[in-house]
Amino acid sequence: MTLADTSSRAGVVFKSLAAAAGVVLGAYLVWGLRSLIVPATVGGLLAYICRPLVARLERSRVPRGVAIVLLLLVFVLAALVIVNRIRAVMPSDADALELRIRALYTLNHRYEALMGLDRPLTRGNRIYRLMHDDLDPLLDRVGQLLALTPEERAQFVASRPRGAHDAPAGSDRLVEYERANVETLERRARAALAEPATKSAPRSLAASAPTPAAQTPLAALGDILSTWIIAPLMFLFLLRDTGEIKRGLLRAVPNRLFEPALNVLADLDRALGDYVRGLFLECCLLGLTVVLLLTLIGVPLQWAIAIGIFTGATNVIPYMGFAAALLSGLAYALLAEDIRPPLPMVSSENFVIWVIVAVALAELLKNVVYEPIVLGGAVNLHPLVVVIGVLGGAVLFGLVGMLLAVPTITVVKVLVSSTARQLKAYGLI
């Protein structure tokens, strides 16, 4: 073996070790900084969406810096308006208690009606016999969340007009609801005791579930701010960039790889741009559809808009938009008392079914019409890959992983396929 061979082999070993160390360091950094991934990505994606807007303003002779500051101001204003709106509709302590009482009452009432339960809550119709093993523990858990503690009950009684609690039946509906709730919970407890021990075990376990450590609102706000401060910074710097990042990356590429690298970057930019813009449009369309359909079946406009925004926002995660629309729609259906639908066939008895139909229709429209038209071939991924990717992302990184699974898979797919194609075209492999 010659000296040149030995030195070449040492060089290869050194480069391999350096690459492996780089990968490990990169993975460690990603894991260590995972709490910053979502804010950084949100800032980056917003910058990506806003780039054409900045260019448009620049074309109108607005300096780039001024255009970016204007956009940032618009976002800050929008955020302030949204926060104010949310604060305005947030119930006070007394309102929250009333809401819980009403929700628990409606939930119990509708569950009993749907399952055809008898008075002691031990026998029901065929649906109940088929599903009560799964549904009862779930209902118990929701009931425990909504039921008032003795202190809350005392607070609620104190908040009612003097004498309301001892007044004759029908004079205060909420007091009646609360009485009915207590009675139903007692009946459910008796019914649970009557069941074999194995079946009632999960209920008692659920009751003793530990509650998370409490955090003061100021500390929580500090935590959020310290993490999310990266989002506007990312937004500003990426919008300020006029190609320096891309040119900086390409400057590090050897001359013979320049053109392939330029093409790969263009493919990546196209794929990511198509995905981000397509997804943004799809979320808007889905949100609008949900608003329209829910309004049609009798959900008041402000609640339909709230559910529509929530659905559109969660649609960023595959299959999550549908779940969000269904859960929030059903939650409204459980809470709603007076429903005045424009459609004659919708009534308070079948309202839940109509909510499910509306959400399913919106999902169908999304899958059959919006996705093929708006997203097109931007994310040409097999559904199994999407499901595995989202679940894998959730296991590894939680919500962040779910959120970034599809864009990450898309980027990796385009990177690998485009690199292979370019290297082959230029005779480099």
Partner 1 sequence: MKTKFDLPGIKKLLLRRPADTESLDASAAPARALFGPTPETAVAEKGSSLVDFLKQVTLFEDLGRRDLRRLARIVHERDYHDGEYIFQEGKPGATFFVLRRGLIEVVREGSSGTEVPLAMLEPPASFEESAAMGAESVRWFSARARGPVSLLTLGKSDLDALSVNFPLLANKVLMRLAGIMAIRFRMLLDAQYLKESEKPQETDQ
Piece of 6-14, 31-39, 252-260, 377-385 that binds partner 1 (CB under 8 A): 252-260
Question: Pick from 1, 2, 3, 59: which binds partner 1 (CB under 8 A)?
Answer: 59
Q: Which helix (H) or strand (E) holds 232?
A: helix 230-240
What are the two backbone dihedrals, phi and then psi, of residue 149, each rounded to the nearest 5 degrees? -80, 165
185 token code pair:
């919970």
State in angstroms the smallest separation of the CB of 282 from partner 1: 21
For residue 258, state whether it binds partner 1 (rule: CB under 8 A): yes
DSSP for residue 93:
H
Q: How far is CA 42 from the centre of its chain?
A: 13
Contacts of partner 1 in 356-415 (CB under 8 A): none
For residue 55, state whether it binds partner 1 (rule: CB under 8 A): yes
For residue 263, state whether it binds partner 1 (rule: CB under 8 A): yes
For residue 235, the number of C-alpha atoms closer than 13 Å in the C-beta half-sphere is 23
**Which residues 6+ apart lie within 8 Å of 40 measured at CB?**
230, 231, 234
d(CA 101, CA 114): 20
Assess contact for 371 and 289: CB atoms under 8 A.
Answer: no
Amino acid at 262: L
Q: Which is nearer to partner 1, 58 or 195 (CB)?
A: 58
DSSP for residue 119:
T
State in angstroms the smallest separation of the CB of 54 from partner 1: 9
For residue 240, state whether it binds partner 1 (rule: CB under 8 A): no
For residue 149, state whether it binds partner 1 (rule: CB under 8 A): no
Residue 343, helix vs strand vs coil: coil
Question: Pick from 269, 368, 376, 380: which binds partner 1 (CB under 8 A)?
Answer: 269
Question: Pick from 15, 129, 199, 247: which binds partner 1 (CB under 8 A)?
Answer: 247
Q: Which is nearer to partner 1, 295 or 422 (CB)?
A: 422
Piece of 98-106, 129-137, 185-193, 253-261 that binds partner 1 (CB under 8 A): 253-261
Which residue ranges make up the site for partner 1 (CB under 8 A)? Answer: 51-52, 55, 58-59, 242-244, 247, 250-251, 255-256, 258-259, 262-263, 265-266, 269, 425-427
